[in-house]
Amino acid sequence: MKKTLLLVLMAGLMAAGCRSLAPVYNVENKTVVLSAGTTMQQAILKGGSAKRWTMSVVRPDLMKGVLVARGHTVEVYIPYTQNTYSIEYAGSDNMRYNAKKNKIHPQYNKWVRNLDLAIYRAAITGK
């Protein structure tokens, strides 16, 4: 009886420690009115930097963002125009990504939402 109770308790603790996967969050064609003198590329660079993302220019209308945090790596593509941007999943390590279900560890979505907010703020304030 004690052995069974111990096994049930351990299984419950292990299940509680495992977070379920969430649908991958993407930002699609978010429209923004830029502050005077700010370009979308500048806003993406500033927003990414504010949240510790490493941003690189792939081509004039596409940037790539990489975040390394606590043993995890995530990559996003950020296509943009003069007044819009998107944030799209590009890859990850140690985030339990399931391509068939398009699901990932929920922390990915938090990081992308924070990046989205930082880009938007940089775009409208120029800071």
Q: What is the CATH number of the domain that holds 58?
A: 3.30.310
- Which residue range is the domain that position 100 belongs to? 22-125
Interval 61-79: pLDDT, tens: 999 999 999 999 999 999 9
Contact criterion met (CB below 8 Å) for 84 and 31:
yes
pTM of the model: 0.84
pLDDT of residue 127: 86
34 token code pair: 């830029």
- Predicted confidence (pLDDT) at residue 100 exceeds the cutoff of 70: yes
CA distance 83 to 71: 34
What's the mean pLDDT in 49-68? 97
pLDDT per residue as tens digits for the range 41-50: 999 999 999 9
Q: Is residue 81 part of a domain?
A: yes
Confidence of residue 17 (pLDDT cuts 50, 70, 90): very low
